[in-house]
Amino acid sequence: MSCQHLVCAQCAHPVIEGRCPLCRANRERMHNHGFAGLSPALVVGLLLVLLLLSLVAEHLVGA
């Protein structure tokens, strides 16, 4: 769902414009992309750490 066609109940303007605090809060909530509330950068960082740990574990087992 996008906020392009939604109208704010408080200010009666499109939510996408973010004219009032309620519009801005709902626009941010709807545009919050991520996994389980985490930012995409944090998810990528966690995946990189997991990859690094698996490579280290594989190297230690293979030695």
Reported as a single tens digit per residue, the pLDDT across 14-29 is 888 888 999 888 888 8
Same domain, 19 and 3: yes
> Tokens 């303007």, residue?
13
Same domain, 6 and 21: yes
Structural domains counted in the chain = 2
Same domain, 21 and 40: no
Same domain, 9 and 27: yes
Q: What is the pLDDT of residue 7?
A: 87
Q: What is the pLDDT of residue 34?
A: 61
- Residue pair 15/27 in contact (Cβ under 8 Å)? The answer is yes
State the residue range of the domain holding 1.
1-32
Task: Please list, in sequence order, all residues whose beta carbon lies within 8 angstroms of the beta carbon of residue 3, skipping any fewer than 6 positions away.
Answer: 14, 15, 16, 26, 27, 30, 31
Same domain, 27 and 2: yes
Same domain, 21 and 42: no
In sequence order, the β-bridge partners of residue 7 are 14
Same domain, 39 and 27: no
**Segment 1-57, tens digit of pLDDT:** 566 788 888 899 888 888 899 988 888 887 766 666 677 788 899 999 999 999 999
